[in-house]
Amino acid sequence: MIKFKLIFLLSISPYCLAQDNTVADDQEIITVTEQVISVESQIKDEAIKQRLENIIQASQWINNTVVEVNEGIVIIQGDTDNKVHNQWIESMANKTDGVIAVINRIKIQNNEIWNLEPAANETIILFNKFVRSLPTIITGILILLLTWYISKLVVHLARTLFKKKIHSPFILNLSARVISIPIIVIGIYLTLKLTGLTQLAVTIIGGTGIAGLIIGIAFRDIAENFLASILISLQRPFKVGDVIVINDIKGMVQTVTTRGTIMMTMEGNHVHIPNSTVYKSSIINLTANPNARKDFGVGIGYDNNISEAQDIVLKILKGHEAVLKNPEYAVLIENLGASTVNLRVYFWVNSEVNNPSKVKSSIIRLTKRAFDSNGISMPDEAREMIFPEGIHVITKKTSKNTVAIETDNFDEPLTNQSEQDLSSDNDEIKQQLRDNPLPDDSQNLIKEQI
């Protein structure tokens, strides 16, 4: 057994001596002495152990010392704060008579609170690596700059080629930038390949896939509005200056951004509606067809001639300058009420030229005046009244100078001070849009002259 241990130690000693001298402070160090190994043991292990313990204790350089000796192999354990002391103890043990090999398990304790030497060494190493990588970094930057310049040139050329075919500025810019994406991808790939970061880029992209999915869910509304803005730009259900109704909100379109559609209501208020809501909702475009139909109801008494009342209203519609002749107007019987025959008057107005609400007001006023002049009654809702003693009727002679007012001769102006002129309010709203532009009006996806 003793011979086997000695042969094993001698076989590993060259390998141990050939190792790098730079080792960690807490790494186990094995050294072999140059003494001739005697077959017959002359010095007892206990004597070697006692001698080494006395020397280490006298030096007071090693703390928590534990010395073990077995067949001349010395194992020293403990800790010290000085590497020189550790080396001295190891050298002393190697020179002790009867020692065949020394296993040094003494740990170096670093008691310094601030030790900047490792940081300084690491900084120097990083600086040297940076200097060596400087040519590669400069080449990568040049490739990125060249890629950016080429992509800008491609975007400019694409805009020039597509300008005549694509009228939407947003779709035009988006199409040009999509074409430049492959050039940007190739430039980034070449830069990563040159700097040796291709695998790192793949790792980062793969590692951030889940994070990207989470971010995509979090920003779902933003992405939905962006896609809706693209569809609105392509389909163009309205343009700037159109009067539209979305979710019972009526207003004139001012601008469409990548986030939402901004309208100015007829009261002069700005309303911002998300594009996703605009695209999903029913859009009523009141400007697409300038002709707007208006109607109102009027009740006449049962004792009146219905055809005569209809003719009176038709004459008013025919002579009114704001009522369109085509499509044709009409006066129809709607239903028979409790005390009145209800008529429904239909007519068309050019909303770009005249205000439909003002025209309706004018016709209602003229109709009431004509009915009064021609003796057409407009009774109130039916009420039951009881007269126990009957009704006494007293007749009064009319003056010889009293003349019944005919439909064609009643003196009622077409407009009054309240209605003013019948012109459309769209021009006033457009002026409001010009006087109150939005800060981000340059981002209007359907920008046109108002």
* Structural domains of the chain sorted by starting position, each given as residue range(s) with its CATH number in brackets: 2-108 (3.30.1340.30), 117-215 (no CATH), 239-288+433-443 (2.30.30.60), 291-382+402-419 (3.30.70.100)
Cα-only R_g, the chain: 51
pLDDT of residue 4: 42
The model's confidence at residue 362, banded by pLDDT at 50, 70 and 90, is very high
Highest mean pLDDT (candidates 27-31, 149-153, 390-394): 149-153
Q: If pLDDT is split at 50, 70 and 90, which confidence band does 6 have? A: very low
For residue 423, the 8-state DSSP code is: B
Question: What would the two tokens of residue 395 be?
Answer: 């007749």
- How many angstroms separate the Cα of 141 from the Cα of each of 40, 95, 187, 303, 340? 74, 61, 10, 95, 88
Residue-level length of the chain: 450
Q: Which residues contact 436 (CB under 8 A, 6 or more apart)?
A: 264, 270
pLDDT in tens, 271-325: 888 888 888 888 888 877 888 889 999 999 999 999 999 999 999 999 898 999 8
pLDDT for residue 16 is more than 50 = no
Q: Is the peptide bond before 327 cis (omega within 30 degrees of 0)?
A: yes
393 dihedral zone (left: phi>0; alpha: psi -120 to 50; beta) = beta
> What are the tens digits of pLDDT across the range 47-59?
888 888 888 888 8
Q: What φ, ψ does residue 347 adopt, rounded to 5°?
A: -155, 160
Q: How far is CA 243 from the centre of its chain?
A: 28
User: Using one digit for the tens of pLDDT, what is the confidence trace for 92-102?
Assistant: 888 887 888 88
Return the higher-pLDDT residue of 5 and 301: 301
Backbone angles phi, psi at 208, to 5 degrees: -95, 10
pTM: predicted TM-score of the whole model, two decimal places: 0.45
Chain centroid offset of residue 178 CA? 19
Report the pLDDT value the prediction gives residue 365, as an integer from 0 to 100: 92
First-to-last alpha carbon distance for the chain, in angstroms, is 106
Residue 149 has pLDDT above 50, yes or no: yes
DSSP assignment of 210-263, as one string? HHHHHHHHHTHHHHHHHHHHHHHHHH-S--TT-EEEETTEEEEEEEE-SSEEEE
Q: How confident is the model at residue 427 (pLDDT cuts 50, 70, 90)?
A: low
How far lies 364's CA from each of 217, 303, 379, in Å?
56, 22, 16
Q: Stretch 384-393: mean pLDDT, rounded? A: 64
Q: Considering only 90-104, 164-178, 207-221, 257-271, which range has the smallest mean pLDDT?
A: 207-221
